[in-house]
Amino acid sequence: MTPAGVALVGYGYAGKTFHAPLIAAAKGLRLHTVVSRQGDVVKTDWPEAKVAADLGAALADPGVELVVIAAPNALHAPLARQALEAGRAVVVDKPFTLTVAEAKDLAALAEARGRLLSVFHNRRWDADFLTLQALIAEGRLGRIVRFGSHFDRFRPQVRDRWREADVPGAGVWYDLGPHLIDQALVLFGRPLGVSADLAVVREGGKATDYAHAVLRYEGLRVILHADMLSAASDLRFAIQGERAGWIKSGLDIQEEQLKATGRAGGDGWGLDPRPGLLIDGETGARAPVDGPAGDYRRFYDQIALALRGQAPNPVPPDQAVAVMEVLEAGLISAERRAEQPL
């Protein structure tokens, strides 16, 4: 099978750290073009890739079959629309768009044009999340009654970058919220309502840097939290079930591995160095739980197969729209200071 040519739009943190190495590692894909103003950097990292000044130039090349959007969040919808209208398959980095209306519009366009459209919800392939899915499927926790999921960081200094500026799509709810929401929806489906508190807590902060949301389900509460001012930022998951609980510290290792090497794979790839603890409700016995290695490469491997009709889309548009519905409900809830039903 001839690898599909990929045009990566954007070579900032997401494009450089995640998408370029993962695309290059995929069996059925080839990093054909990078749309970036950092041509020298791109050529140093990926000498065989072409560099284009804008998406239009990349779309003029018949060798480009798939477009990956890793530009700032506010550009996701217009760039994805441009690529779909040009007849290309599209992957969009999270968040899918800025609004539910934009997300639904792109999903409808992809369906009308018969083109693949997917969203990079890579945290489905975190080692700890795969372990948690297995624990739930095996019934080792019993019925889940409280699910806590954290992405807490300690970055007290406000940095000069668009993610922390007063611009549409900035802030932790748009940045980390999609990860937290997507994992919750994979496990539990659509909630009944969302209560969210979004705030700016750092001195000099311009964008939301504190997000706390409760998703209400029948007999279950899902608590999602992300902030930029947690010195004690170790907690990742705290799950309580009728039979047992599970506590996990530390983030999945793949992001750090990608930052360190600029490539995906190798010895120890995705192996969790800090397995979570299973705590028996009756005895209080605590035991570490080993699970599968995480592997973000699975997303793009499946994208390559989906392009050829050999596998389903790993993150179909309707699932990404559902994430946007919860994210947008959180924005409304925070503004109204009340639960927003879904």
pLDDT tens digits, one per residue of 264-273: 999 999 999 9
Instruction: Say if CB 143 and CB 135 are below 8 A apart.
Output: no
pLDDT of amino acid 17: 98
Pairing of strands 193-199, 340-341: antiparallel
Residue type, 329: A
pLDDT of amino acid 25: 97
> What residues make up the domain containing 155?
123-294+326-341
The CATH number covering residue 82 comes to 3.40.50.720
pLDDT of amino acid 22: 98
CA distances from 146 to 183, 190, 279, 323, 333 (A): 14, 16, 14, 20, 21
* 319 within some domain: no
| Angle 186-119-292 from CA coordinates, rounded to 5° | 50
Q: Specify whether 309 is located in the same domain as 274.
A: no
Look at the chain and report how many structural domains it folds into. 2
Q: Find tokens 């494009």 and name the residue.
A: 15
Q: Specify whether 136 is located in the same domain as 270.
A: yes
Q: Specify whether 105 is located in the same domain as 210.
A: no
pLDDT tens digits, one per residue of 103-114: 999 999 999 999
Q: Pull the structure tokens for residue 8.
A: 């990566």
pLDDT of amino acid 268: 96
Tell me the residue ranges of DSSP E strands in 160-219: 193-199, 210-217
Q: Pull the structure tokens for residue 105.
A: 């519009």
* 321 within some domain: no
pLDDT of amino acid 224: 98
Q: Specify whether 333 is located in the same domain as 201.
A: yes
pLDDT of amino acid 274: 95
CA distances from 283 to 243, 244, 245 (A): 10, 10, 12
The whole-number mean pLDDT for each consecutive block of 10 residues of the chain, a chain of 342 residues, reads 94 97 97 96 97 97 98 98 98 98 98 98 98 97 98 95 94 98 98 98 96 98 97 95 98 97 96 97 95 97 97 98 98 98 96
Q: Specify whether 164 is located in the same domain as 149.
A: yes
CA distances from 252 to 13, 122, 142, 211, 255 (A): 17, 11, 25, 20, 7
Instruction: Say if CB 197 and CB 224 are below 8 A apart.
Output: no
pLDDT of amino acid 293: 97
Q: Specify whether 131 is located in the same domain as 81.
A: no
Q: Specify whether 305 is located in the same domain as 275.
A: no
| φ, ψ dihedrals at 140, nearest 5° | -75, -20
pLDDT of amino acid 119: 98
Q: Specify whether 171 is located in the same domain as 114.
A: no
